Chain A
Amino acid sequence: MTGVLLSPGEVVDEFRAERSPFSWLLEREVLRYLRIWRYSLVGPVLSTILFVVVFGTVLARHVDGLGRFSYGQFIVPGLLVQAVVNVGYFNGTTSLYEARRDRYLHCVLASPLRWGEILGALVLASMLRGILVAAAVLAVAVPLTDLDVARPGYLALVAPAVLVVAAQFGIIAGAVASSLDHVYSIESLVLLPLGFLGGIFYPVNQLASGWQLVSELNPFFWLVQAGRTGFLGSADVPGWAALLVTWAFAAVLSAWSAVIFVRGRRLKS
């Protein structure tokens, strides 16, 4: 037997990396969903586009009262937010929950990767997946609905927050879920209702005042309003409020996941 692996490396006073372990983990995370692209990318893009086609073009003829916007233009920003949040959720749960369940998370935890690097790589990979899905949806939805970006600067400010919310939500769910049933229950009992009641398909100001209040308690509502403000220029709430609330959600979820990773309660024994 010969080879460099048969002899140990040197003891060093300070860890030095030829290439950042963070970039390796980020690459692994991206590679993971590119390998399962039919499920991870094509599926969410196709289902969102079908919503745009069915609701935004076919049923749009029967919907009015949205002022200068067609129904298709009205729903696309919300559908985009929903697609990004769904992708973030399933990215976090698939990546982190399965790494916990199959215990290959141990390889990462036992390596020189710091908690911030692990979390950062998971978040960034999820955000990149969200951008890929959003770009693909827009590539089809924009020509179908003649959608324009009314406030590109605003959209540039709010889009990272939406992507962070989606990524961190998935990571937190991936960390706290104790079974696959748990993962899918959160999706069908929390994510789906919040999405549908978040004002994607209707303007909330058409609801009775009590229901308006209920809508405003829904985090999804604020993400949808932020997206709609960026694309259409206005929404049911002031743009600055939607921007502020969306970034506040991003900050709260980021703090929550940081606590999970620092304490390691759900990640280590």
Chain B
Amino acid sequence: MRDHDGVPTALEVRGLRKSYGDGFTALDDLDLSIPAGSLFGLLGPNGAGKTTLIGSVCNLVRPDAGSIQVFGHAADTREARALVGLAEQDINVDRFLSVRQVLVYHAGYFGVGRREAVRRADEALELLGLTAKAKVTAPELSGGMQRRLVLARALVNRPRLLILDEPTAGVDVDLRAEIWRLVRTLNDAGTTILLTTHYLEEAEALCDEIALIRAGQIVDRGTAVALRAQYAVGSIADLYQRALAPVAS
């Protein structure tokens, strides 16, 4: 799929299904299209299918059916994976390596040469304020610092599609503001961003389009303004209650 100007759609998901062994259906014939260059928010309650969708895009979940394309490449190809950066909701860092090594090796997994990997790691350390912690191992970092490391790691392959799964969950106000600035800067430079968050004001402030997900399906999507008008509500928080209430409650 391509946008109107001929650029491949950043993410094209068609008929995606995923049920887990316990019978829980996480994704139920989900369709989603995210235009290149957008800052796209995905809102939904716990268990709505957000993380399963992200996992399916990033080769961490085995979908039962459906197709996923990243900038025109099937998601299970190396070409697609090379284009995606992922910062997961849970902190998951290699505890055997130093902070700097985590970034260098992650760049390496994307085929970057050593000199460039080291250069990118140093830049990521500086960007996320981790330079002073470069030599310590990840478990020695505080929670906020680990969150910074996860974000830094998602950038070292220079992704065209950056997936941030609740990047500001549990972080302090300063770091949240810093992450917002970073997200906006990346998006301004052309990086497509898929953001999931439970902070509704965050979605409203950052995202140029929002999709509402419930029970494994996209319920609605649009700009914050259009959605508020459509549901005749004053805020995204009210919209969330209105559109997702049956399951959220």
Contact = CB atoms under 8 A, between A and B. Distances in A.
Which secondary structure dominates where chain A touches chain B?
A: loop
Contacts of A23: 108
A14 interface: yes
Interface in B41-95: 52, 55, 58-62, 71-72, 77-79, 81-84, 86, 88, 90, 92-95
**Which of B83, B101, B109, B190 has its CB near the most chain A CB atoms (within 10 A)?**
B109
A8 B158 contact: yes
Listed from nearest, the 3 A-B pairs whose CB atoms lie closest are A17-B111, A24-B108, A18-B113
Given A18-B116, A107-B153, A268-B62, A9 B92 contact: no
A5 B52 CA distance: 27
B34 interface: no
A262 B186 CA distance: 35
27 contacts: A5-B123, A5-B124, A6-B185, A6-B186, A8-B160, A8-B190, A9-B157, A9-B158, A11-B72, A15-B78, A15-B82, A18-B116, A19-B111, A27-B108, A28-B105, A35-B96, A98-B95, A102-B92, A102-B93, A104-B95, A109-B58, A111-B81, A114-B78, A263-B62, A268-B55, A268-B60, A269-B55
Contacts of B88: 103, 106
Interface in A166-212: none
A112 B108 CA distance: 10
B8 A19 contact: no
Given A5-B156, A8-B160, A14 B116 contact: no
A264 to B, nearest CB: 6
A21 B111 contact: yes
Interface of B: 8, 20, 52, 55, 58-62, 71-72, 77-79, 81-84, 86, 88, 90, 92-97, 101, 105-106, 108-114, 116, 120, 123-124, 126-127, 153, 155-160, 181-182, 185-186, 189-192
B178 to A, nearest CB: 10
Contacts of A263: 62
Nearest to A94: B96
B123 A11 contact: no
B59 A268 contact: yes
Contacts of A16: 111
Interface residues on A, range: 35 or more
Contacts of B72: 11
Contact of A269 (B52, B112, B114): B52
A106 B153 contact: no
A145 B168 CA distance: 63
Contacts of B81: 110-112
Given A1-B185, A4-B120, A104-B94, A110 B127 contact: no
A268 B56 CA distance: 10
**Which of B59, B113, B160, B182 has its CB near the most chain A CB atoms (within 10 A)?**
B59
**Which of B82, B114, B159, B160 has its CB near the most chain A CB atoms (within 10 A)?**
B82
Contacts of B156: 5
Nearest to B20: A269
Nearest to A111: B109
Given A4-B120, A15-B79, A106-B92, A268 B158 contact: no
A125 to B, nearest CB: 12
B167 to A, nearest CB: 16
A108 interface: yes
